[in-house]
Amino acid sequence: MIRYQDLRDRFTEDTAFGGGGASPSLTAALDAIGWRAVQEPTPEELAEFLADLVQQCVHLHRDVSVLSFEIARALRDTGPLLDGGLPPVEAYLPAADEILRRYCNR
């Protein structure tokens, strides 16, 4: 699990005046875990939503474990249905943690 301070520093850097925002780095993190194979939503589309979740974490609740769970829920809710059912959100936590790790560590 990443530290809140590392997440905050990265997000602040990305969103500072002249920064490109968090979405490009989150897109790269989604690409790295193979999200492009899902096709819909695209990594770019999902990254926009995840950037909002990161912003809420940095500016509101400041709890990285809550953020990780919210990202895991987004992955589950937007990913493909494998056999007509959905695994629990907890099954997506390793992927959510990997996205955050990649985001913070470029």
Residues 106, 87: Cα–Cα separation, whole Å: 29
pTM, two decimals, is: 0.93
pLDDT digits (tens), the chain, 106 positions: 899 999 999 999 999 987 789 999 999 999 999 999 888 899 999 999 999 999 999 999 999 999 999 999 999 999 876 666 778 899 999 999 999 999 999 7
- Contact in structure between 19 and 28 (CB atoms under 8 Å): no
First-last CA distance in the chain: 15
* Closest alpha carbon to 101 in 8, 19, 3: 3
Each domain of the chain, given as residue ranges in start order, spans 4-105
* Structure tokens, 76: 């589950």
